[in-house]
Amino acid sequence: MKPFIAPSILSADFANLGQEVSAVLKAGADIIHFDVMDNRFVPNLTIGPMVCQSLRDYGISAPIDVHLMAEPVDNLILDFSKAGANYISFHPEASKHVHRSLNLIRENNCKAGLVFSPATPLTWLEHLIDDIDLILIMSVNPGFGGQSFIESSLKKISTTREIIDNSGHDIRLEVDGGVKIKNIQKIAAAGADTFVAGSAIFNSDDYEKTISAMKAEIKAAKN
Ligand code: DX5
Ligand code: ZN
């Protein structure tokens, strides 16, 4: 699967969001990671479907990867699918009926993702692997940008890679939290193919240089 760099707009300049998203795409980003926080599921508050729609109206045509850190999820799934999302992911703890929510995403023509916080066990996948297009392994606790990568996530990523390979399905393996130029190679080597990076990209002086360096590190992991 082609590796994707997914800048998280959580670290973008929200007063200039359209320009920021255009700039990272021009710099080589593949998809846009859109963090939704509700001050309930996580102790922070961000943006909703109206902002997703605004990016579409601004002319952004790249895939938008919505990461829900909010509860409940079903109403948000409907709203984000109408607002132009392509991927919608949620945490299993945030839905009373996880299988139903995953299917609701697919019924609304989006790719369905399930997110695993550091303490969330992969056992959820035993009964859901056929209903998933993307698995998101969190390498920090959800809620804030700029946190440090939790090293034990590497083992979880490689275990997830085995589960995906054994399933025979085309499922993306995304990693979110503390991804930097200096650690992206080992994250890729553990089996990830989709790399969320917020502060590493938006806090850098040169988006193009940062994204190119990340891509080179990912390539090096394959050699
Ligand atoms: C954290 C969010 C992440 C965050 C990553 O809850 O889900 O997407 O923006 O930020 P960095 O890359 O700065 O760790
Ligand atoms: Zn995220």
Nearest to 107 by CA among 129, 126, 88: 88
Looking at the CA of residue 149, tell me the nearest atom of ligand 1: 14
pLDDT in tens, the chain (223 residues): 999 999 999 999 999 999 999 999 999 999 999 999 999 999 999 999 999 999 999 999 999 999 999 999 999 999 999 999 999 999 999 999 999 999 999 999 999 999 999 999 999 999 999 999 999 999 999 999 999 999 999 999 999 999 999 999 999 999 999 999 999 999 999 999 999 999 999 999 999 999 999 999 999 998 7
Q: Which atom of ligand 1 is nearest to the CA of 138?
A: 7
Name 15's Cβ contacts closer than 8 Å, sequence gap at least 6: none
4-222: CATH topology is TIM Barrel (3.20.20)
Catalytic residue among 38, 131, 176, 193: 176
User: E strand or H helix at 167, and its extent?
Assistant: helix 153-167
Residue closest to 150 by CA, chosen among 183, 105, 106: 183
Domains of the chain by residue range: 4-222
Would residue 131 show up in a list of annotated catalytic residues for this protein? no
Ligand having the closest approach to the CA of 140 = 1
Lining residues, ligand 1, CB within 6 Å: 8, 10-11, 33, 35, 67, 140, 142-147, 176-179, 196-200
- Proximal ligand: closest to the CA of 142: 1
Residue nearest ligand 1's atom 6 by CA: 142
Residues 6+ apart with CB under 8 A from 182: none
CA of 219 to the centre of ligand 1 (A): 23
171/154 Cα distance (integer angstroms): 18
Q: Is 79 a catalytic residue?
A: no
Residue of the CA atom closest to atom 10 of ligand 1: 145
